[in-house]
């Protein structure tokens, strides 16, 4: 079946909401409007306004209310229209949602999902184009999923909606319209497991979200030149499946990490450090980060594109690492 | 303007210039839509202020050189009313080098310090607290300047507005909060976002001079703005809600399927440009004179598109500039970091 990323997300919500009457969505324009990017389109007709709760533009209270609803026994799917707004909700997310189980000695958890989207691709400018997953990954207590494929858009969201702890679920705005051939009935990998998208003997590319596609494109290009890359799609950054990374890196000894987010102190930095620490004896080269520039994103089409890695930079870096 | 005389269309000789300013805004916005259709805009997140011209022109009339302001994502009209160059605005909307922010900001993040524009904002409510700080400085310096935050009705539900109004009142700051109430925030009508729809009452509760004015007649907005700004310059912060209607979709591509046709038809009757035009005719101006004025404006705004298309894309390496101050080291490009690492082998 050919399915778009956006439609897979919608289907996941529909199936989960049919199964579990405690699941409800809460956020700006999630109901009548159907979501700024159309993910919740039509859901209000089946599930009603009580389960697609349209809110005022009040992000901290949206996330905070979801925290409370989760503590009170339901399973909210809060939505932030853009991940860039997470800054406004940092207290509710990082001081409340993330810490409640721990601070209260394990008495209660916060089983909520925070759906949001990030990344470049629409000339949306500095305040609507960021990749802020490091904020989340840096906060103990939060889970973090970032689907890069249509299949994962569906199954990771289904799995996120079964987790006992808060999950931040970051979609990529550049993927909503992407269609892929999928069979959703194939059982998904266990929650928290990475997937090896491609196996090769020369270099390991570790990545997630939209950059999966850039890595795969680069790997195809390299294959034509005789360079074979392994491509790992992490799918979730917390839990982090380091075993899969280690198993791929040790026999090859060359690894690069690819991320759209600003390079410094980003997810790629954490991954590169961890590979360096844990696989040090097997590495032939430094673990190289191919990541976003340490700059805000411009609205100019050219500058926007130039701010994040594309397949060409991925391929070139791999080529030089292997040489 | 003589504040003691009853302000009304019949008595006012400036209406022609207000009409002109409003028509310039409407025509500019129309050309923004055209820029998008021609594939020359940077993206499609373009929010047009058609229907809100009286708020921009009416309020900005009370502002003077040196006053500062912030706007929201639907701020083209306000910026024009404060004297912006439409060519440089359009070029910014096109993400081009000749734009106000050299293609970095775009429609939603445009600014010009020379005109006191401290910045448009893509974060709903994001530009509001800055005017408290700017006014704090104006007060410290005793320069008689005010600082004004323009925002939409959607921002009325952001907590930061209340923190800001409270501080402004507490410290007697020369601040005005202007809410352009076009009745909608994306697909949410104001009464679907709040039960407290008499917006100025909230500001009054904090001790601000607060009013709501109908935006149909620009002269009413001018009168209200004069009252509020006079208070602000004297140290009592103000709040003005301007009632109007968002004529078109939220963004350029939105067709507003969540509104009924009837609502749109009725809403668009609240047309400050048409209203002013009819008033001018009633005052004895003739159609031909106004048509000639419109034509002049059309030519001015048509030229903004040519200007934008002719303007170059910003050079790629400019993306590393302006992260930090001039003279500071710029961030090292990822490519050169990678090259350095690989060269070490
Ligand atoms: C903090 C934040 N939340 C949500 C959005 C998405 N968004 C952009 S404009 C808008 C509606 C704003 O409505 P209003 O303030 O009335 O301004 P209008 O668009 O009507 O001019 C929304 C929800 C945003 N840009 N920033
Ligand atoms: Mg509005």
Chain A residue with minimum CA distance to B324: A295
- Is residue A88 a contact partner of residue A62, using CB atoms and an 8 Å limit? no
Whose tokens are 């199936």? That residue is A15
- The C-alpha atoms of residue A161 and residue A76 are separated, in whole angstroms, by 9
Chain B residue with minimum CA distance to A309: B334
Strand partners, A239: none
CATH homologous superfamily of A2-181 equals: Thiamin diphosphate (ThDP)-binding fold, Pyr/PP domains (3.40.50.970)
Same fold across A2-181 and A195-322: yes
Question: What six digits make up the tokens of A15?
Answer: 């199936």
Question: What six digits make up the tokens of B49?
Answer: 């202020």
Question: What six digits make up the tokens of B303?
Answer: 């030229």
Residue B184 has pLDDT above 60, yes or no: yes
> Which residues of chain A make contact with B158, given a CB cutoff of 8 A?
57-58
- Is residue A288 a contact partner of residue A260, using CB atoms and an 8 Å limit? no
**Ligand 1 pocket by C-beta < 6 Å: which residues?**
A 28, 57, 59, 81, 85, 88; B 47, 72-74, 122-124, 152-155, 182, 184-186, 246, 250
- A123-145 burial, b at 16+ Cβ within 10 Å, e below that, comes to bbbbbbbbbbbbbbbebebbbbb
Residue to substitute from B155, B252, B312, B342, interface A, most A β-carbons within 10 A: B342
pLDDT tens digits, residue range A19-65?
Answer: 999 999 999 999 999 999 999 999 999 999 999 999 999 999 999 99
Q: What is the model's pLDDT at position A75?
A: 98
Q: What is the model's pLDDT at position A323?
A: 92
Please name the CATH architecture into which domain A195-322 falls.
3-Layer(aba) Sandwich (3.40)
- The C-alpha atoms of residue B48 and residue B93 are separated, in whole angstroms, by 12
The set of residues, in sequence order, having a beta carbon less than 8 Å from that of A182 and lying 6+ positions away, is A1, A2, A3, A8, A149, A150, A151, A154
Strand partners, A256: A205, A288
Q: How confident is the model at residue B1 (pLDDT cuts 50, 70, 90)?
A: very low
- Alpha carbon B297 to its chain's center: 19
Protein fold of B9-342: Rossmann fold (3.40.50)
- Give B 284-343 residues with CB within 8 A of chain A: 313-314, 316, 318-320, 323, 331-335, 337-338, 341-342
Q: What is the model's pLDDT at position B345?
A: 53
- The C-alpha atoms of residue B176 and residue B135 are separated, in whole angstroms, by 9
Whether the predicted model's global pTM rises above the 0.90 cut: yes
User: What DSSP assignment string belongs to A212-253?
Assistant: HHHHHHHHHHHHHTT--EEEEE-SEEES--HHHHHHHHHHH-
Distance separating the N- and C-terminal Cα atoms of chain B: 75
- The C-alpha atoms of residue A60 and residue A45 are separated, in whole angstroms, by 27
Q: What is the model's pLDDT at position B12?
A: 53
Q: What percentage of chain A's residues is helix, strand, coil (to nearest 5)?
A: 40, 20, 40
Residue B55 has pLDDT above 50, yes or no: yes
**Pick from A36, A123, A320: which is nearest to B42 by CB?**
A123
- Give the burial class of A68: count Cβ atoms within 10 A of its Cβ; 0-12 exposed, 13-18 middle, 19 or more buried: middle
Asked, as a colleague might, if the bond just before A239 is cis with ω within 30 of 0, I would say yes
Distance separating the N- and C-terminal Cα atoms of chain A: 40
- The C-alpha atoms of residue A183 and residue A2 are separated, in whole angstroms, by 9
- The C-alpha atoms of residue A105 and residue A72 are separated, in whole angstroms, by 17
Cα B328 to averaged position of ligand 1 atoms, centre (Å): 35
Residue B4 has pLDDT above 80, yes or no: no
Q: What is the model's pLDDT at position B8?
A: 43
Under-50 pLDDT residues of chain A? none
pLDDT tens digits, residue range B59-99?
Answer: 999 999 999 999 999 999 999 999 999 999 999 999 999 99
Residue A2: how many other CB atoms lie within 10 Å: 9
Ligand nearest to the CA of B52: 1
Q: What are the extents of the domains in chain A?
A: 2-181, 195-322
**DSSP code of B332?**
P
Q: What is the model's pLDDT at position B10?
A: 46
Residue B243: how many other CB atoms lie within 10 Å: 21
- The C-alpha atoms of residue B73 and residue A82 are separated, in whole angstroms, by 15
């Amino acid at each position: 079946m050919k399915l778009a990323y956006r439609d897979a997300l919608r289907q996941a919500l529909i199936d989960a909401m049919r199964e579990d009457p405690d699941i409800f969505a809460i956020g700006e324009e999630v109901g009548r409007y159907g979501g700024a990017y159309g993910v919740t389109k039509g859901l209000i007709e089946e599930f009603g306004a009580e389960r697609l709760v349209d809110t005022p533009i009040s992000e901290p209270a949206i996330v905070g209310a979801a925290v409370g609803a989760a503590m009170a026994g339901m399973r909210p799917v809060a939505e932030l229209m853009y991940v860039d707004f997470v800054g406004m909700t940092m207290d509710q997310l990082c001081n409340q949602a993330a810490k409640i189980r721990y601070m209260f000695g394990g008495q209660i958890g916060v089983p909520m999902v925070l759906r949001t989207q990030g990344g470049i691709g629409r000339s949306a400018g500095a305040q609507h184009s960021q990749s802020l997953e490091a904020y989340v990954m840096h906060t103990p207590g939060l889970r973090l999923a970032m689907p890069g494929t249509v299949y994962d858009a569906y199954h990771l969201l289904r799995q996120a909606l079964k987790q006992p702890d808060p999950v931040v679920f970051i979609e990529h705005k550049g993927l909503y319209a992407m269609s892929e051939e999928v069979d959703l009935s194939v059982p998904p990998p266990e929650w928290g497991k990475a997937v090896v998208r491609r196996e090769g003997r020369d270099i390991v590319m570790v990545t997630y979200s939209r950059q999966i596609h850039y890595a795969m494109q680069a790997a195809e290009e390299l294959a034509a030149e005789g360079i074979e890359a392994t491509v790992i799609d992490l799918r979730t950054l917390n839990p982090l499946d380091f075993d899969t990374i280690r198993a791929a890196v040790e026999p090859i000894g060359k690894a690069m990490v690819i991320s759209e987010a600003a390079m410094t102190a980003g997810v790629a930095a954490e991954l590169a450090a961890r590979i360096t620490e844990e696989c040090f004896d097997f590495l032939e080269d430094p673990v190289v980060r191919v990541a976003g520039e340490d700059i805000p994103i411009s609205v100019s089409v050219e500058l926007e594109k130039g701010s994040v890695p594309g397949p060409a930079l991925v391929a070139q870096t791999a080529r030089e690492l292997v040489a | 303007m003589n504040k003691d005389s009853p302000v009304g269309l019949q008595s006012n000789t400036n209406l022609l210039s207000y009409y002109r300013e409003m028509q310039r805004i409407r025509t500019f916005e129309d050309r923004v839509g055209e820029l998008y259709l021609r594939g020359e805009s940077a993206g499609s997140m373009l929010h047009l202020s058609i229907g809100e011209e009286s708020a921009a022109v009416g309020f900005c009339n009370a502002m003077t050189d040196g006053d500062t302001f912030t706007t929201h994502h639907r701020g083209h009209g306000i910026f024009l009313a404060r004297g912006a160059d439409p060519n440089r605005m359009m070029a910014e909307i096109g993400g081009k080098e000749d734009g106000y922010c050299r293609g970095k900001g775009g429609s939603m993040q445009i600014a010009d310090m020379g005109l006191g524009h401290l910045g448009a904002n893509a974060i709903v409510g994001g530009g509001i607290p800055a005017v408290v700080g700017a006014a704090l400085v104006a007060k410290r310096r005793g320069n008689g300047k005010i600082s004004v935050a323009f925002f939409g009705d959607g921002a009325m539900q952001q907590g930061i507005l209340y923190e800001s109004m409270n501080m402004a009142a507490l410290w007697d700051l020369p601040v005005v909060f202007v809410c352009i109430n076009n009745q909608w925030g994306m697909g949410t009508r104001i009464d679907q976002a709040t039960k407290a729809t008499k917006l100025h009452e909230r500001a009054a509760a904090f001790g601000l001079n607060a009013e709501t004015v109908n935006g149909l007649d620009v002269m009413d907005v001018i009168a209200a703005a004069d009252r509020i700004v006079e208070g602000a310059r004297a140290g009592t912060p103000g709040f003005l809600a301007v009632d109007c209607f968002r004529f078109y979709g939220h963004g350029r591509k939105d067709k507003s399927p969540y509104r009924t046709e009837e609502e749109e038809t009725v809403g668009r009757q609240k047309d400050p440009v048409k209203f002013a035009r009819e008033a001018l005719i009633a005052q004895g101006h003739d159609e031909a004179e106004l048509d000639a004025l419109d034509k002049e404006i059309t030519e001015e705004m048509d030229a903004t598109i040519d200007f934008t298309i002719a303007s170059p894309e910003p050079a790629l390496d400019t993306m590393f500039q302006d992260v930090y101050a001039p003279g500071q080291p710029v961030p090292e490009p990822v490519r050169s970091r990678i090259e350095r690492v690989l060269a070490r082998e």
